[in-house]
Amino acid sequence: MENKKLKKRSEIESRFKWAIEDLFPDDIAWKKEFELTKELIDKVSKYQGKLSESADTLLDFYKQKDELSLHLERVYVYANQKYHEDTSESTYQGYSTKANTLAVQMNSSLSFMVPEILSIPEETLNEFLSSNKELKVYEFAIKEIIRQKPHTLSKEMEELIANTGEMADAPSNIFSMFNNADIKFPEIQNEDGDFIEITHGRYSTFLQSSDRRVRKEAFQGIYSTYSRWKNTLAATFAANLKQEAFFAKVRNYPSAMAKELDKSNVPMDVYKNLIEAVHENLPLMHRYVKLRKKLLGLEELHMYDLYTPIVKDVDMKINFEDAKDMVYKGLEPLGENYREILKDGFENGWIDIYENEGKRSGAYSWGAYGTHPYVLLNYQDNLNNVFTLAHEMGHAIHSYYSDAALPITYAGYRTFVAEVASTCNEALLMEYLLGKTEDKKQRAYLINYFLEQFRTTLYRQTMFAEFEMITHQMVLDEKALTADSLCSIYHELNVKYFGDDIIVDSEIDMEWARIPHFYTAFYVYQYATGYSAAIALSRKILNEGKPAVDDYITKFLSGGSSDYPIELLKKAGVDMSTREPVNQALKLFESLLTEMEELMTIPEK
């Protein structure tokens, strides 16, 4: 029997790798820019004590800061993307560490900026802005500093906090090293009898298998491995929550949640409304779970049965070339300009396609201002990975438009809107596939996939958000976060969200230990809010055509962080300060569920 091991990075053909040389031709060039960035840090730090001198001085400072940000971003992204190509490679582990240290040094050197700007009387700042047209570009950034005044500390304290950056990142870095480089999962036999090692990238493919033994063995294999490290992982996770609570307290916030949401000026009610809206609609999820159990013809539905398609005998094995074609055609409603950029990304080295030994798990879009975006994939030949391609290219093209329209100060978009463009692409792709599918069984297969997107993105990410809310509150309440307590909380949430028609296996209690996003506090809720906003935007684009597309591209995709996320979405026609987009999305879920029930004949037991 064949033993299929992952290829080493050197064994992957160059045409399947991203063109990292578009950022730096080689490591020598990176080292030169690293040294230049250190010089720019020194240059910018010399503005300390001078920002109140004149509008021209303040403008010069912002220009120098932009130049520093540009170079640091390039240095940082290259180092970390090279590290992500093979996390076991010590050279790029070192580069990543050096780049992280440099970022901390920059933040430390700029720690005087906010307190110093806040010390300038508002009347004087307004005079500066009105007397200097170039400085006017930075007005939103300056006013945002003023908004954050209650949470800004003295220059000395800001410098001290900036210098704690590497220490504060330690739990996240430890988890990342463990999860990407050190942890090894067992081998299982696939459907053909071949012994294959479980990896992060292969795990989702195993769970979609039609062979229940494969699903169960993959499920047990991955969680039994995490369980062996449960106390270490609990201590690492608890340390991360405690450092978040510490920095929230230092900055005069009542909680880490308040601190994180305030970064984007998102009201706390948005988070709580999401959870409440989903709780009200949990009967729909329970109904879907019940349908899944019946359609699979199982006496007992288990957690490892949640990902296998409930529509059988549909060939949806899709290679990467076909995936690109499907995404290109599916995004036709966004117009030719959008698709020209998409094609450029497909053909000119934006994407690192296949999994290799040591490669960072999952998928992301990243890059540095002034060069094209990059997309990391671990592509497997299935429908889920086609949607991942559409998703990550949505991020990339969002970055492309923002970078083209805005100076570096505003080019980066905030996390609250980060998932909107990516998920809008997925929704448009799904509409395209449903629209061209006449086969009843294939249509049911696609609807099942869409239902799964709602389950995994809106429902599951909200469950993650609730887990975060509970565990962060435990830190505030000075309750112990042990492996047992974390597993108990996670188990009960699964019972609540999935209902009575599924066996909540004890192995799933360890799932919290493998979610990297839990190390970025209060991030995951934005997948659910972003999904809701994306569903609303996709409906506007499909129903209204060019006017909606123009608003979407010019007011949202090109908006970066030039306004608050809630306001950017309002300009595109979606108001996330209300529960309406979440409720609308769940109404679509209900209609899809009803169609699924009508399409499928439920087999007798």
d(CA 481, CA 209): 35
* C-alpha R_g of the chain: 24
d(CA 505, CA 350): 40
Q: How many CB atoms lie within 10 A of CB 478?
A: 7
Helix (H) or strand (E) holding 351: strand 351-352
Instruction: Say which amino acid occupies 373.
Output: P
Backbone dihedral angles phi then psi of residue 3, each to the nearest 5 degrees: -110, 105
**Catalytic: 392?**
yes
CB 414 within 8 A of CB 450: no
Q: Which of 353, 412, 341, 423 is nearest to 390 (CA)?
A: 423
Q: Which of 17, 176, 263, 177 is nearest to 517 (CA)?
A: 176
Q: Which of 322, 324, 374, 518 is nearest to 85 (CA)?
A: 374
Q: How many CB atoms lie within 10 A of CB 348?
A: 11
**CA–CA distance from 110 to each of 65, 158, 166, 392, 429 (Å)?**
9, 9, 16, 32, 43
CB 440 within 8 A of CB 599: yes
Q: Which of 545, 566, 569 is nearest to 557 (CA)?
A: 569
- 33, 73, 260, 392: the catalytic one is 392
Backbone dihedral angles phi then psi of residue 196, each to the nearest 5 degrees: -130, 135
Instruction: Specify which residues 196 forms β-bridges with.
Output: 4, 188
Pairing of strands 364-366, 374-376: antiparallel
Q: At what angle do helices 55-85 and 122-131 cross, to 10 degrees?
A: 90
**Half-sphere exposure in the Cβ direction for 177 (13 Å, CA):** 14
- How is residue 451 written in tokens? 């239902």
The DSSP-derived string for 257-298 is HHHHHHTTT--HHHHHHHHHHHHHTHHHHHHHHHHHHHHHT-
Q: Which of 578, 576, 572, 543 is nearest to 555 (CA)?
A: 572
Pairing of strands 195-197, 374-376: unpaired
**CA–CA distance from 548 to each of 399, 513, 544, 552, 553 (Å)?**
19, 41, 6, 6, 9
Give rounded-to-5 percent helix, strand, coil for the chain: 70, 5, 25
CB 115 within 8 A of CB 148: no
d(CA 138, CA 131): 13
CB 257 within 8 A of CB 485: no
Q: Which residue has the tokens 């993650």?
A: 464
Q: Which residue has the tokens 């992280």?
A: 100
Catalytic positions, please?
392
